[in-house]
């Protein structure tokens, strides 16, 4: 197969895998149209720390992957879910979902320590990320920023309609939201799939694997590897499971990073979330992974 054939195969493969999930996310957007933003705000007002823990724990029961979670979280945040809670859920859901638990258990059945480490650390990192965002957003600096592509101004008749919508109008609005989210996400997924496929075909990732076999460079190398590969969180466990030369901590760094930060997700974060929030995730989360690995290195 020539390089172009490989490129198109991988690009189409990513899209075929992702489209069902973004369709699921679009359906979620439809459902959200029936939940007034004021209700969401009322539930979470004044209980942010407890909500962060609940959002992290919700990751264990909600089977969503990392591509579908970004538009859903953006839609929740637009409907007044406090930003730190939204970010916590965005970190937790793809890292802790039941599918990820099942697949990791199979891939690491002969090395069960990694399974407990992955989910224990991912839960702790989800909570820590939420708490850091709570601090960063203490003066509303993050949540006050507009979402990308947010309507700059809405005419009065539209605002009035959004406030007092009938069931029929809500169904129509939900359908519009769902189609809008699907089309928009698809655009970024196609772009991200093209970049990921190009990296896969043209960048020699075996260099990273070689660098990663050294003890001191293995953790950052595996994090970088995870970022470039943009593996689906539902199945990422099989890749480090195959790498017998790597330490458990570097494998853990791979497993913690991929579901939250990778090439395709970074594009989506900047497309769906306010710019400062997307930038903060890109800085805060890898730093937390490194910190977690350093702490764990004293015990493992």
Partner 1 sequence: MNNRSGTIFSAERFSKKIVMFSYGFFLLFLFRDDIIKRYLHERYQPLTVGAAVFLILASVAYSSYVRRSGCGKPHEGRRLPPAVMLPLSLVFLLAPVIWGFVSPASVIGVSDGLLKNKGTFSATSAMIDPGALSKPHSSDMRVRLETPTGESGTFVYSPINIMELQMLLSGRGDAFAGERVAVQGFVYRDDGRPDGFTLVRYFIPCCIVHAVAVTMDISVAAASSPAADQWVTVYGIIRKGSPSGGDFVQTFYIEAEKIEETGVPSDPYINRSFMKKPFMF
Q: Which residues bind partner 1 (CB under 8 A)?
A: 1, 5-6, 8-17, 19-21, 23-24, 27, 103, 106-110, 149-152, 154-158, 175, 178-180, 182-183, 186-187, 190, 193, 196-197, 200-201, 204-206, 209, 229, 231-232, 234-239, 241-244
**CB nearer partner 1, residue 157 or residue 167:** 157
**CB nearer partner 1, residue 41 or residue 160:** 160
Residues in CB range of 48: below 8 A, 6 or more apart: 82, 84, 85, 134
- Give the distance between the most distant pair of CA atoms in the chain: 64
CB 48 within 8 A of CB 84: yes
CB 162 within 8 A of CB 79: no
Least Å from the CB of residue 290 to partner 1: 24
Least Å from the CB of residue 283 to partner 1: 27
Least Å from the CB of residue 260 to partner 1: 17
**CB nearer partner 1, residue 115 or residue 134:** 115
**CB nearer partner 1, residue 95 or residue 196:** 196
- Separation of alpha carbons 52 and 99, rounded Å: 22
Q: Is 39 exposed, middle or buried (0-12, 13-18, 19+ CB in 10 A)?
A: exposed
- Separation of alpha carbons 254 and 179, rounded Å: 34
**CB nearer partner 1, residue 87 or residue 239:** 239
Q: Is 71 exposed, middle or buried (0-12, 13-18, 19+ CB in 10 A)?
A: buried
Least Å from the CB of residue 151 to partner 1: 5
Least Å from the CB of residue 258 to partner 1: 11
- Separation of alpha carbons 218 and 67, rounded Å: 27
């Amino acid at each position: 197969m020539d390089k172009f054939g490989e490129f198109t195969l991988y690009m189409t493969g990513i899209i075929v895998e992702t489209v069902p999930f973004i369709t699921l996310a679009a359906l979620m957007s439809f459902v959200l149209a029936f939940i007034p933003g004021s209700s969401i705000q009322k539930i979470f007002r004044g209980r942010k720390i407890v909500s962060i823990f609940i959002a992290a724990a919700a990751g264990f029961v909600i089977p969503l992957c990392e591509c579908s979670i970004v538009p859903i979280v953006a839609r929740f945040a637009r409907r007044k879910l406090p930003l730190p809670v939204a970010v916590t859920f965005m970190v937790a859901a793809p890292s802790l979902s039941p599918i990820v638990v099942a697949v990791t258990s199979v891939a690491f059945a002969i090395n069960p320590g990694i399974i407990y480490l992955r989910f224990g650390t991912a839960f702790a990192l989800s909570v820590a990320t939420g708490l850091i965002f709570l601090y960063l957003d203490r003066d509303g600096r993050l949540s006050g920023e507009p979402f990308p592509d947010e309507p700059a101004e809405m005419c009065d008749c539209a605002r009035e309609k959004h406030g007092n919508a009938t069931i029929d109008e809500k169904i129509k609005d939900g359908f519009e939201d769902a189609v809008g989210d699907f089309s928009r996400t698809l655009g970024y997924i196609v772009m991200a799939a093209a970049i990921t496929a190009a990296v896969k075909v043209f960048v020699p990732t075996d260099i990273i694997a070689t660098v990663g076999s050294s003890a001191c460079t293995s953790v950052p190398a595996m994090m970088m590897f995870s970022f470039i590969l943009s593996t689906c969180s539902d199945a990422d466990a099989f890749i480090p499971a195959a790498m017998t030369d790597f330490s458990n901590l570097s494998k853990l760094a791979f497993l913690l990073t991929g579901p939250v930060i990778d090439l395709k997700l970074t594009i989506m974060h900047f497309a769906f979330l306010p710019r400062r929030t997307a930038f903060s995730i890109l800085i805060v989360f890898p730093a937390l992974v490194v910190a977690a690995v350093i702490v764990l290195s004293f015990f493992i």
